[in-house]
Amino acid sequence: MEGEGELLDLSHLSEAEQTSILEVLLRDSDLRCLDEGRVRTLQEKEADPVRLRLLSGAWFHEERRKRYRDTKDGVDIIQASIRGRKPRTELSVSGVFKGQTEDAPPTNNNDPSSQIEDKKEEDDKRSNRSPPTARPRPKPRSPNPQ
């Protein structure tokens, strides 16, 4: 794709709109973590590798990786555009929300104690958030005009 490495021009968005986009990206990150937990439990329960591949969605991720192997993730591009810097593939989504920048030195991900602390921080943030609320369903329209 042409201009793939460039940032998107989001200058026309208000601060509230940018905040809304970041909230959606954060929610996406949370959903990805929940899905990873679901896949972990599936791996423990399911013995058949073919069925596990189907249930976990691994087949979809493999196909998407094949099709879009030369493109950057849209989440990374949008976050970088909002923050006004170039997208980095080494910087994780959680790193962006923790305030890390591309100039920050990489953290030592091999240290188990730092991974445990990071996990505790993420769990604390999740527990402080209010649960999603159900939206009311719209009433069906009657065919008779009144």
pLDDT of residue 124: 60
pLDDT band at 111 (very low <50, low <70, confident <90, very high): very low
Ranking 34-48, 79-93, 112-126 by mean pLDDT, the lowest is: 112-126
Q: Which residues contact 72 (CB under 8 A, 6 or more apart)?
A: 4, 5, 87, 89
- Backbone φ and ψ for 59, nearest 5 degrees, come out as -60, -40
Q: Where are the domains of the chain?
A: 1-101
What are φ and ψ of residue 11, in 5° steps? -65, -20
**Interval 57-106: pLDDT, tens:** 999 989 988 888 878 788 888 888 877 754 444 445 555 555 555 554 44
